[in-house]
Amino acid sequence: MPQTTKTAPVVHIVDDDDAVRDSLAMLMNSVGIDARQYPSANAFLEASPPDTTGCVVLDVRMPGLSGLQLFKEMNRRRMSWPVLFITGHGDVPMAVEAMRDGAFDFVQKPFRENELLERVQQAIAQDRADRVQESELASIKDRLTSLTNRERDVLGRIVDGCANKVIAIDLDISQRTVEQHRARVMEKMQARSLAHLIRMVISVDAD
């Protein structure tokens, strides 16, 4: 099983308003979450924070690179933290656009009691889950690479739903050899069932 990353989560706060940023950091600290502050999108990109569990709290409007532009840049750079936008009341259309592009959520200023904290905690949980999934995916990929070329040919046909007999004819090998390959594939892939094996292959293809 993949190991769950139990490092302390970090919330990255990107906001040009010193007071809002400082108060958000303090709020995070008040529930024991580490917070890092960045006064601009560029400051965040330049800091290039380590890819550990956490989330990003991002002001939609900032001078220079806006929150939305930073979000797009993060996607381009494959920074995978869930992004929680904070918006003023006039910025809802921008927030909606951000949601379409895959933002975690948006919260309007001023925040309702606990609203932001709850969202931050959910975002961290999501990131943790994503990281678990991702590490599992990485492990499946590792297992796939451990297969021989012949075993991979067999796996491909199994996923396509071919019977052993068909695979044997296709690959011009004996049916018994197919059965041996199949057993090795199941073993190497740590597949509990044919269905599990297929799901694993699909999850890798989808990535």
What is the binding site for other proteins (CB under 8 A)? 17, 19-20, 22-24, 26-27, 29-31, 61, 63-66, 88-90, 109-111, 113-114, 116-117
Is the Cβ of residue 84 or residue 140 nearer to other proteins in the bound state?
84
Q: Which is nearer to other proteins, 49 or 88 (CB)?
A: 88
> What is the Rg, in whole angstroms, of the alpha carbon atoms belonging to the chain?
23
Spatial neighbors of 98 by CB under 8 A, at least 6 apart, are: 60, 67, 68, 71, 83, 85, 106
Complex with other proteins: residue 111 or 137, whichever CB lies closer: 111
Closest CB 20 distance from other proteins, rounded Å:
5
Minimum separation from the CB atom of position 82 to other proteins (A): 20
Smallest separation (angstroms) from other proteins to the CB of 115: 10
Q: Which positions ≥6 away from 39 have C-beta within 8 Å? A: 15, 16, 18, 21
Adjacent-strand bridge partners of 38: 14
Q: Is residue 157 within 8 Å of 167, Cβ to Cβ?
A: yes
| Residues in CB range of 13: below 8 A, 6 or more apart | 21, 24, 25, 28, 35, 36, 37, 38, 56, 57
**Closest CB to other proteins among 25 and 155?**
25
Name the minimum Å distance from CB 91 to other proteins: 9
Closer residue to other proteins in complex, CB, 32/161: 32
Instruction: Please state the closest distance from residue 61 (CB atom) to other proteins, in A.
Output: 7
